Amino acid sequence: MNKIILITGATSGFGEATARKFAAAGGYDIIITGRRKEKLEALAASLPATVLPLTFDVQDKTAVFTAIDQLPAAWKKIALLINNAGLALGRDLFEDASLDDWETMLDTNVKGLLYVSKAVTPLMITQKKGHVINIGSIAGKEVYEKGNVYCASKYAVDAISKAMRIDLLKHHIKVTAIHPGAADTEFSKVRFKGDKSQADKIYEGYTPLSAEDVADAIYYCAATPPHVCINEMNITCTAQANSFYLHKDA
């Protein structure tokens, strides 16, 4: 019987690459989610797997709980939840940053992850097993200048992952946090609000992670035997040591 997985933020970047990875591997029925309906439907149609696209904004508590509650019974046996939806908005000094940007990051990266987890983990508790993979960031390991609230949101993902691992232990639910470094996805385009030249500069002078590199890491963590849980994985490109040290060729 195929395992059911739910991936948030599957319309681009890590989420889309992860959906492609699991679909190609076989053995999974996949729920893909995001706000951009057309992208979700196009991805669903292109994957060699049974796929259920679900359109909702993770910031909308009612929409999250309704979407999960209304899943057909067979789709409720979720074995793996990948909490990936998230974003950075702006790269500004504390005194210059926008409160709206801060609120959107906290509402998405922290509260959205909590809503989806609170909606899905009861379905795992009923099954007495499950696996939650949270996508944090190296920004949740060291704060960098102008990273302020994005970093804070990812520190929260780190803490929430540790807390979930402890509290869900008795339900045989694995919790893994994956903390990637710079990866070339739509992330910087979103962060710099469509300013392509600013976004492109982030990835100049070195080879960043690709979405597929992170999807491979997610798949590796998901494919461990039932008695093994990778608690945490920090993954950067070879040119990057952490949030501070990134070697760019001249």
| 35 is a site residue for ligand NDP (CB under 6 A) | yes
Binding letters toward ligand 8X3, positions 115-144, x by CB under 6 A: ----------------------xxx-----
| 236 is a site residue for ligand 8X3 (CB under 6 A) | no
Strand partners, 164: none
- The smaller minimum CB distance to ligand 8X3, of residues 14 and 28, is found at 14
Q: Return the structure tokens found at 186.
A: 């739509």
DSSP secondary structure, 173-207, as one string = EEEEEEEE--B-SSHHHHHTTT-HHHHHHHTTTS-
Phi/psi region, residue 191 (left: phi>0; alpha: psi -120 to 50; beta: rest), is alpha
> What do you get for the CA distance between the two ends of the chain, in Å?
52
At its nearest, how many Å lie between ligand NDP and the CB of residue 150? 8
Q: Return the structure tokens found at 111.
A: 């509260």
Residues forming the active site: 150
| 54 is a site residue for ligand NDP (CB under 6 A) | no
Q: How many residues bind ligand NDP (CB under 6 A)?
A: 29
Give the torsion sign (CA, 106, 31, 214, 199): negative
Q: Can you tell me which of 182, 211, 221, 222 binds ligand 8X3, judged by CB under 6 A?
A: 182
> Using CB distances below 5 to 8 A depending on partner kind, what does residue 57 bind out of ligand NDP, ligand 8X3, none?
ligand NDP
State how far the Cα of 201 lies from the Cα of 205, in Å rounded to an integer. Answer: 9
State how far the Cα of 44 lies from the Cα of 102, in Å rounded to an integer. Answer: 32
- The smaller minimum CB distance to ligand 8X3, of residues 67 and 138, is found at 138
At its nearest, how many Å lie between ligand NDP and the CB of residue 114? 13
Q: Would you give the distance in Å from CA 206 to the centre of its chain?
A: 24
Residues near ligand NDP (CB under 6 A): 8-15, 34-36, 57-59, 84-87, 108, 112, 135, 137, 180, 182-183, 185-187, 190
Residues near ligand 8X3 (CB under 6 A): 137-139, 147, 181-182, 243
